[in-house]
Chains A and B, each alone.
Chain A
Amino acid sequence: MRTRGPILTLLAVVVLALVLLAVNLTTAKDSSSQAAANAAATPAPGAAPAPGAAPAPGSAPGQTPGAPQAGGTSTFPPQATYTGKTSGRKAGEATVAVAVHNGKASAYLCDGKKLESWLEGKAEGSSLKLTGKGGNKLTGTLESKTVTGTVTIDGATWPFSASPGKAPAGLYRARTANVDAGWIIRQDGTQTGVQNIGGQASEAPELDPSAGSAVLGGTTVPVKMIEGGDATAVGR
């Protein structure tokens, strides 16, 4: 007569894990079928079909850029957000996020202290090419749903990697004539932000992504979630 307690404990752990997994899978199915529906509804004008694919309109629904790809190189879906960070930055890693919308891309990098940069460009096939002020630029490749690449800010270059996130994960920007602030919320809910008030950069106050606005330097400023290609237009 051995004790069954430990086995029951193990079973309880396994059952709880499987229940959570099942809930996750169900939820994921809902949101991915929704994404597929969105993708189908938007014939994606600029959503670059894979090179070599017949550009005929209505060609192969199976080729919808939003369709999940089995590992390896994939093409950017019509709408996606990736968040991650640099590696090898001596002053502490900076947070990087990229939003892609129908072939247009916006990216934001910030360190939560004073370094920050907005970049805009294109997402074609599986590659990203964005540029920002000065010689700032970001290039990357989508592989297995993860974006990896390099980002150059003020002459320094760091590799970065970013993985897909769902709202509220993403890039946020608030801008007026005097204030410019940006935030990145990562998949795990943590956030990094920098505000520029009258040319002075500092850590941005915590953003409540559901509020739609933030108080910056004493004024309430509307905050926009960046979808891709729309970052430089905020507040202009």
Chain B
Amino acid sequence: MSPDMDPPTSPMPPRHTGSVQEPEMPAAPSPAPSPQAVSNSLVVPVLIGAAVAVALGVYGRLHEPTGFAVNLAGFSSTGYVKAWLATIATLFGIVQLLSSLVMYGRLLAAAPPWIDSLHRWSGRLAVLASVPVAMHCLYALGFQAYSARVLVHSLAGCLFYGAFTTKMLCLTRPNLPRGALPVLGGLAFTGLVVLWLTSSLWLFSTKGLKF
């Protein structure tokens, strides 16, 4: 369950035999890490990730929405550009979920050697596809609460980038608690799916499926 956090597996495999199963790495640290060190390794990434989430929300709330921002050519409207980019991000997010399940040995008996790369790169593409959408949201629309859908969407956007940041930072840390990466990946994946449901799906179902 690592939406965009593709790189999750990458850090580990290199250090260990590089076997795909290594994501279970958290178990590997067992040689010595004190519980203290294990939880300490999470503190800084979580604080930074939380700061990112809050900063996005505050910026979205305080910045006066311009009601407009740069757009991509070739689509019928900005809304559809965003809806399709978000759909791409979500599809890569699903690849993230599946590939992480494989890496953790929950899906296939033997993980193919390319699964790490698949996980890393699908995550990178997912998050990069999401950036133009998020920038438009932040710059042109802002953090809004005029309906339940919009409020949930605003919150999910902050959650997603906060969880993403935390996960990226965690990947660079030793002695991670066993469940840290799956939980962070799961949070980011949840955020991404909620974002898609409250925007793209909403647009497609109310205004039609088109480009």
Segment at the interface with B among A125-133, A162-170, A225-233:
A162-170
Segment at the interface with A among B29-37, B96-104, B163-171:
B163-171
Q: Determine the chain A residues whose CB is within 8 A of the CB of B64 once the complex forms.
A: 71, 144-146
Q: Determine the chain B residues whose CB is within 8 A of the CB of A3 once the complex forms.
A: 7, 10-11, 14, 171-172
**A122 within 8 Å of B (CB atoms):** no
Contact A190 B141 (CB under 8 A): no
Please list 26 pairs of residues, one from A and one from B, whose beta carbons are closer than 8 Å in the complex, sorted by A's number: A3-B14, A5-B10, A6-B7, A6-B168, A10-B169, A12-B124, A13-B131, A16-B128, A17-B131, A85-B147, A93-B147, A144-B64, A146-B64, A163-B141, A163-B142, A165-B67, A165-B68, A166-B68, A187-B140, A187-B141, A188-B77, A188-B140, A189-B77, A189-B78, A190-B206, A190-B207
Contact A85:B146 (CB < 8 A) given known A5-B120, A189-B78: yes
Within 8 A of A (CB), among B163-187: 164-165, 167-169, 171-174
A129 to B119, CA, bound (A): 57
**A54 within 8 Å of B (CB atoms):** no
Chain B 114-149: CB-based contact to A (< 8 A → 1; otherwise 0): 000000100110011001101100011110001100
A39 to B68, CA, bound (A): 20
A170 to B74, CA, bound (A): 21
A146 to B135, CA, bound (A): 20
Contact A87 B172 (CB under 8 A): no
Contact B172 A189 (CB under 8 A): no
Contact A20 B171 (CB under 8 A): no
Contact A5 B7 (CB under 8 A): yes
Main DSSP-derived SS at the A contact region: mixed
Q: How many residues of A contact B (CB 8 A)?
A: 37
Choose among B7, B65, B147, B206 the residue that contacts A87 (Cβ–Cβ < 8 A). Answer: B147
Contact A10 B120 (CB under 8 A): no
**B47 within 8 Å of A (CB atoms):** no
A167: nearest chain-B partner, CB-CB? B68
Contact A164 B131 (CB under 8 A): no
Known: A13-B128, A16-B132, A24-B69. 15 other contacts (CB 8 A): A2-B172, A3-B11, A3-B171, A4-B172, A5-B120, A9-B7, A20-B132, A28-B66, A163-B141, A166-B66, A169-B68, A187-B68, A188-B78, A188-B82, A189-B80
